[in-house]
Amino acid sequence: MKKIVIIGAVGGGATAAGQIRFYDPKAHIVVFDRDSTMSYAACGTPYVIGDVIEDERSLIMADPEQFKTKRDIDVKLRHEVLKIERETKTVHVRNIETGELFEEPYDVLILAPGGSAIVPDISELNSSKTFTLRSYGDMQKIDQFIKSERPKSCVVSGGGFIGLEMAENLKNLGLDVSLVHKSPTIMSILDTDISLIIEKELSLHGVKLITGTAIEKTEGKSIKLENGIVLQADFIIMSIGLKPNTELAENAGLNIGETGGIRTNEFMQTNDPFIYAIGDASENFDMVTGDPKRVPLASPAHRQAFIAARHLMGDKIAKKGLLGTSVLKVFSLTAAMTGLNEKAITDKKLDFATVVHTGNSNAGYYPEHSKITLKVHYDPRTRKILGAQCIGGKGVDKRIDVLVTAIYAGLTVDDLQALELCYAPPYSSPKDPINMIGYKAITEK
């Protein structure tokens, strides 16, 4: 009977455990995690804080008792793996509650350690009430602080996914929100023109946006920025980025890639064939360019868990790369993207052309419709799609989903005009924006 030890019990780790049990009813599976909560929907945490999701327990998909009763999987929370002994195939574990130290043998080890919020070295930051949002416990601390202390204002540092979602939810709670972002525009994964539309939306809803600077020093509720501006806020949300938790892997001699993640092959194996790495801390490769890539999002983690589980069963399903497909809600806007943005294409010195179409999400004569802008980058020689972005009201996500499928299938930008997509006035137009991109690309040859 094969023994599989998994480090990490959230998205990737919990999914891997469940997948392995589904395919192998006899495997001995043990899961360790430092946290006190497992298998929770981390993406929902800003919406619990914003009271959009009323029951925080609804984010928890499973608990150790359920995993043991229904799947015969041992999940040990509040247990930290301190060391991996590759020669003897054991891990050294500490029970955080009792301090007990013990060793756990494995036949196969799966690393799903996730990542940690980056907190920069800011002068006197400890004097201010500062939070990060990377775990269920972090969410509870922020939520309890807001409910008990009744703060009136907040500074959100970082204009990525978490920063924008927190800015929206805190603003909807009635707080004065200032969003500080070091780069000239927010959401660096988007092209500048798309990011500027989001910035306008933030302004329309009363979020004070300050770009091109960062927090330099704090003194209680006084927050000084590098450009000299001083803000007053009751607390700070620090959301400037994620550092993959790779220390355990590094100390075990596993290869770390140029993105900072644990380097894996197409089957999620590390340079040790008995050790796999999945989720936020793993490095794969870009589907478009083949270059190293790390995407700390839920969907890739679940797919990686499936690939690792199947490989363990002898079924070699290769990972075909990462696109970084993502979607974001900011008040009345939705923004989504997949593949390479303009900066990435330019940095890689790739030839490209761009088609942009602005139109209605569905029939303009139908009462409920909205404007959307769809932007597609493609190789002018091969006509293959390099990346796409969409922003507007309803229907943004479905357009990007179609383009993800097109990239995966190897379709060209010209093929888009031929796709027979769903049409009825509440949902689209006879010539969908996807089709229009294809028609426009043909005329630009």
Average pLDDT, the chain: 96
What dihedral angle (degrees, nearest 10) is formed by the CA atoms of 45, 51, 52, 54? Answer: 90
Quick check: is 324 in a domain?
Answer: no
- Whether the Cβ atoms of residue 131 and residue 238 lie closer than 8 Å to each other: yes
Q: Is the dihedral of CA 147, 148, 153, 158 positive or negative?
A: negative
| pLDDT digit string, tens, across residues 71-116 | 999 999 999 999 999 999 999 999 999 999 999 999 999 999 999 9
CATH number at residue 350: 3.30.390.30
The residue range of the domain holding 253 is 3-116+243-312
What dihedral angle (degrees, nearest 10) is formed by the CA atoms of 194, 199, 201, 204? Answer: -150
Spell out the long-range contacts of 227-234 with Cβ–Cβ below 8 A and sequence spacing 24 or more.
Answer: 231/155, 231/178, 231/180, 232/153, 233/153, 233/154, 233/155, 233/176, 233/178, 234/129, 234/149, 234/151, 234/152, 234/153, 234/154
- Verdict on whether the full-model pTM lies above 0.85: yes
| pLDDT digit string, tens, across residues 107-149 | 999 999 999 999 999 999 999 999 999 999 999 999 999 999 9
For helices 396-409 and 433-443, the axis angle rounded to 10 degrees is: 50
Q: Are 135 and 233 members of one domain? A: yes
| Phi and psi angles of residue 356, each rounded to the nearest 5 degrees, phi first | -125, 135
Q: Are 193 and 233 members of one domain? A: yes
Q: What's the rounded Cα separation, in Å, for the pair 13 and 279?
A: 8
Is 390 tagged catalytic? no
CATH number at residue 71: 3.50.50.60
What are the Cα distances from residue 56, in Å, to 40, 97, 139, 261? 10, 24, 9, 31
**3-state class (DSSP) for residue 71:** helix
∠ Cα 95 98 100 (to 5°): 55
| pLDDT digit string, tens, across residues 316-331 | 999 999 999 999 999 9
Check residue 309 and give its pLDDT: 96
| pLDDT digit string, tens, across residues 254-279 | 999 999 999 999 999 999 999 999 99
Domain boundary among 312, 345, 369: 312
Number of domains in the chain: 3
Check residue 11 and give its pLDDT: 86
Among the options 43, 154, 390, 422, which is catalytic? 43
Q: Kindly write down the DSSP assignment for every residue of 320-373, as one continuous string.
A: --B---EEEEETTEEEEEEE--HHHHHHTT---EEEEEEEESS-TTSSS--EEE
